[in-house]
Amino acid sequence: MELENLLDPRLIIVTGKGGVGKSTVAASLALAAAGTGRRTCLVEVEGRQTFSRLFSTQTWDFSEREFRPGLWGLSVDADASLREYLEMFYGARRLSRIVTNSSAVEFATTAAPGIKDVLLIGKVKEVERRRDPDGRFHYDLIVLDAPPTGRIVNFLRAPDATTELVNIGPIRDQAQSVIDMLLDPQRTNVHLVTLLEEMPVQETIDSARALDEVGVTLGPVVVNRVLSPRFDDTTRKAFEGLDVAATQRVVAKADVELTDQGAEALLRIGTLHLHRLELQERMRGILSRRLRLPLLELPYLWDEHFGADELAHLAEVVEESL
């Protein structure tokens, strides 16, 4: 897949090592999709209310709500998914309330841990397949903020494990329909989010291999928080030849007086920036060689507070890459 086809699948699953900004990336992709005219639903399944805070909206729940033009939000939980499942397949509204109120989900997930994930992904599948009265799909794109890479393989393998446990009936049919969605490259792509640092890059490479074994299609890797070079080659060479006294002479030309301590601090900051850029370039090369997937790079934003305006900026970067 090339970057211009980034938003073509019906379901985009976003995952990454904890701390790399996968939820931020998921929100940015969803905003970009809505900005291109796609009717989009952004889904969370971990109950962390990350998006309600990022977008400064009311608490998200099992009811889809439009919180930006063309962009809906949904928070999926296993209890509500089980209740909806029982009502949909058995017409048992009263039973569904009794079951969910009696901690049946907790019991089921203890007996068969993958059941909870099947319920969560099953709801995502229902949203992905839903059609309007005119026959068109209700949403053009669903963006799923999935569990982190440490759990994503088990999360995506849960439906397959369920079909091995249950041979017949609606539960097996539901699990199989989820498998069909996940393994169809026209319907589903998985995007790994990483940073240009050693540990996140290695975990991304390992996760890509594991996800290949699951059979899902990997889309472009999203590289988050990429520093922009502050020096061109000429400036870099000049900087590398500076000492404290030379630094003081340079800034004095701008009518700025620096103490020895201030000059040393400025040199340290510049040196750290250069080292970080060198690390980024090395990690970028490793990612490109080992994964052979397109890279979508999002800039490091220096804003003290990260919110809707910053997300909108990242969404613009995504749109420009298409």
Asked if residue 300 belongs to a domain, the reply is: yes
pLDDT in tens, 1-35: 789 999 999 999 999 999 999 999 999 999 999 99
The range of the structural domain enclosing residue 48 comes to 3-227+288-321
Which comes out higher in pLDDT, residue 302 or 238? Answer: 302
Asked if residue 208 belongs to a domain, the reply is: yes
Cα(52)–Cα(132) distance, integer angstroms: 27
Mean pLDDT comparison of 9-13, 83-87, 173-177, highest-scoring range: 9-13
| Domain containing residue 219: CATH number | 3.40.50.300
Percent of the chain with pLDDT over 90: 62
Which comes out higher in pLDDT, residue 175 or 239? Answer: 175
- Catalogue the long-range contacts made by 225-233 (C-beta closer than 8 Å, 24 or more residues apart): 225/21, 225/195, 225/298, 225/299, 225/300, 225/301, 226/196, 226/280, 226/297, 226/298, 226/299, 226/300, 227/273, 227/276, 227/277, 227/280, 227/300, 228/299, 228/300, 229/277, 230/273, 231/270, 231/273, 231/274
Which segments of 66-148 does DSSP mark as H helices, in order? Answer: 78-90, 93-101, 104-111, 114-129
Is the confidence at residue 107, as pLDDT, over 60? no
Cα(127)–Cα(177) distance, integer angstroms: 13
Asked if residue 257 belongs to a domain, the reply is: no
Asked if residue 301 belongs to a domain, the reply is: yes
Percent of the chain with pLDDT over 70: 88
Asked if residue 135 belongs to a domain, the reply is: yes
Asked if residue 86 belongs to a domain, the reply is: yes
Q: How much is the average pLDDT of 229-250?
A: 72
Asked if residue 109 belongs to a domain, the reply is: yes
- Number of domains, the chain: 1
Average per-residue pLDDT for the chain: 88
- pLDDT reported for residue 244: 76
Residue type at position 252? A
* Residue 219 neighbours by CB distance under 10 Å: 26
- pLDDT reported for residue 220: 97
Length of the chain: 322
